[in-house]
Structure 1
């Protein structure tokens, strides 16, 4: 939407609230979501010209209700009885009752959906992004994304899930699904899986915005707070993590004076709150690792033993091979490159779809002073990287080591993270 930032923020904040009211009343999430999207487009056309209405939420609800009624009538008024209550509401009135945003989020992250489908549906239904905007963010044609979103809504409808907040017993598992989806959105934005850009700012910003929203709805949930802390602590480095060409700048080489200190401070405060809220979960532990990096005034001052201990706790909690990959780097910084290389045994099959095992193995051989052993791993990593800035960075590393090997140089770079990534 090409709108003033305050109007765009307002629309995106109101979108899930209006969708929640409409879906609860009509009991048709698919049709309600389409109607809300049409109402958002109408607002994007009328509000810049006519001004924001006194009751923007009521305006959107009325516009969406009209479009939903038209949709139902065009399909032989299948759910006329359920819509009567919505039609009786006075025009522009503020809907009564609780904010349905969390319920919308939980439905978008339904366990029957794949992560890719849940992400797309969440960005459209909760983020208020158009199908074209979601497609652009993921680098796919709009028609492809439209089909993905349509299938996701059909899956939700076919599951028979009612539009209602889960019971207290069901809520923790469903909230975990929401956090997982938001974590995936953030990661895709922070380091794009493919394409010409290192990161996609709109996805990072949207993941942070929605996570703030979830925390406002669930302020006592320590892992919600931990996830928001993680996002802020990592994204604080954004101004320094790419050079003028858009290629990645490894963490040890970043100009830390460029880091967003306001975000670091907020992230540290949130981390403290999460740690006070109960046993540390996976997102809180990751935030604690990011905090160690962000607190270090220089790369050499990084408390690597602390990071290694935190990765050990995270690995025991999750069993995630990506955690083991990162723990190998921390182990190398504490106990030497061979300790890190030993931890990589068995990861090739578990992380066969990514170039990062080769990138780490190449980095650790380089750290050990063995450029000849590092070269084939860097070459494979460069050939398999799907993000063009990372590919250029790894290709440059290959050229650097070819030159060093030819000149008889064996010394490692100073560092402490994976080539092609800023770590932490």
Structure 2
């Protein structure tokens, strides 16, 4: 009885309540997004909102089962989860169903499908945590860094072959885990510099950017005249940056597909095709803006009701929130995500076991990346890529995978006062 009582109090119920709130908000917004007057009941299993209710109930059962497992069981089976997921990613390339140009789904029958790429996220976080928490493994060691990179890269490669660019991009967020475990901040600085130079090279002429780079380099050299090592680094960085500027456009026009370039051009303002490639985002922004402060009310969204926005129950579910619940409702949703992310970081930092801490930061990185990209895409600040909004977008695979991702952390946290795992 004492063990049961201890287990009950050790579970982070604040995180569970936020999770439940997001699931309920998602369910009602899916009902609004695809509302069918011939099937008005929210529990009608012939509709997406009826199926989402089944997904939520099954996710809660799944979360409960995870909380009842032994923490050592989760740790020990991390490699097995990863291997099974990789096999599923290989299988989907052979027998998978193509939906929206991505061969990412395995049919389960009765209208239900499984998306292995969603489950690859928690499996990769588990194996990465298992490896990085091993004895004598340090991210600063080149061998350890390469192995950790390979753990992340393998599912990325298989998902890219589907091709699912959105899910592939999410795995890049795990660099934040490596940074927390000791990776030099210079890796993040270099990554940010590359991204900035990439965008600037598309917007401005190469020579204008080079003049700016030289000016910054001269300023840095003047500030550190007596530091030869720093000065040498600035000069090498300048040379590499200039070289990168000259190869951006050839890589952009030869390495990306036309529709990918068109979406990026639309976001950067290099193209203005509101009726073509920019249609989805334009309609999404209209829907969000039309909600104003308090929204039009539940089931009253005209953009929603007349299906002006494609994929409104999945990739663009946030525009339903903005239209029907307005700025106030959008702030509530964003606030819930912020509180959940902060709670996850708090949970990660209070762990005694390195495995649990590393896994916690993996959970935070994946969720942060999903929320950032999905909402930025809906309001026109990022190119359109297929990526769900956690716990809110329609779909069983998405909800189950995020539930597993979160509840494994909650289980590890509930046992944090016990043995310290490797």
TM-score range, shorter chain: under 0.3
TM-score (norm 2): 0.26
Greater relative contact order: 1 or 2 (C-alpha under 8 angstroms, separation 6 or more)? 2
